[in-house]
A = this chain, B = another copy of it.
């Protein structure tokens, strides 16, 4: 066998494990997936998983990191580009939202293999019970989230920062659900799409984007306990403007 075959078979083992793990973690969750079914699905020996990744936890992190790196790099690149084009002026909220959530959905649509699978895995990852997963996500997302938060703060200077953070959180939730579950959608509708699942994915981004921006720019809430001068209404106007 030539040199290429050697390198390829080495890379194949790692990547076959990653691909199988990605699919199975998506379908059955971290706790619901055993190393044995991963290696069986990948067609490799059981010990190969621990040899290449060290542990099940590290395998999960490798699965997540492989895709998150390109997604978050693209997110930072697009935000840099948008801010450069804006020339010092604050970005429109819709542009920021599109850079963040649009990148996620577009990359998932582009990647032929594993893209949609990873998208659904990612949706579940935020609510995974295991501490180490959430801790990993937290560090993996730290810088890109900080950049986007600051961009939103500049974009909506009259909206309290706490409100922006909450609404960003709500947007994450809506997006996670949107991508995590065609299954979860069946809770809401039993009617089947005429155009098939391809239609769903193609129209999901504009649908979701409209919803997110509508939520982000909604009038500010009125809290029961707070005094309510007329200034409150002007804050509403700023947020909705």
Q: Nearest CB to that of A214 among chain B residues? A: B218
> CA separation between A163 and B28, bound complex, in Å?
29
> CA separation between A234 and B179, bound complex, in Å?
29
Contact (Cβ within 8 A) B141 A187: yes
Interface string of A192-225 (1 = CB under 8 A from B): 0100000000110011111111111111111111
> CA separation between A130 and B29, bound complex, in Å?
8
> CA separation between A208 and B167, bound complex, in Å?
8
Contact (Cβ within 8 A) A211 B134: no
Number of copies: 2
A186 is an interface residue with CB less than 8 A from chain B: yes
Contact (Cβ within 8 A) B221 A218: no
Q: If the complex has contacts A32-B31, A221-B209, are A169 and B178 also in contact, measured as CB distance less than 8 A? A: yes
CB distance from A213 to the nearest CB of B (A): 6
Contact (Cβ within 8 A) A188 B218: no
Give the residues from 148 to 186 in chain A that come closer than 8 angstroms, CB to CB, to chain B: 149, 162-163, 165-178, 180-181, 183-186
In this complex, how many residues of chain A approach chain B with their Cβ under 8 Å: the count is: 67
- A-to-B contact residues, CB < 8 Å: 27-29, 31-32, 123-124, 126-130, 134, 137-138, 141, 145, 149, 162-163, 165-178, 180-181, 183-189, 191, 193, 202-203, 206-225
Query: A28 contacts which chain B residues (CB < 8 A)?
Result: 129
Contact (Cβ within 8 A) B174 A138: no
Contact (Cβ within 8 A) B129 A187: no
Query: A178 contacts which chain B residues (CB < 8 A)?
Result: 169-170, 173
Contact (Cβ within 8 A) A223 B203: yes
Query: A130 contacts which chain B residues (CB < 8 A)?
Result: 29, 32
16 contacts between A and B (CB under 8 A): A29-B128, A29-B130, A127-B181, A127-B184, A138-B187, A170-B178, A170-B211, A172-B187, A173-B174, A173-B178, A176-B177, A177-B177, A202-B224, A206-B221, A214-B215, A214-B217
Q: Nearest CB to that of A195 among chain B residues? A: B225
- Most B-side CB within 10 Å, residue of A191, A214, A225: A214
> CA separation between A175 and B209, bound complex, in Å?
17
CB distance from A16 to the nearest CB of B (A): 22
Q: Nearest CB to that of A163 among chain B residues? A: B207
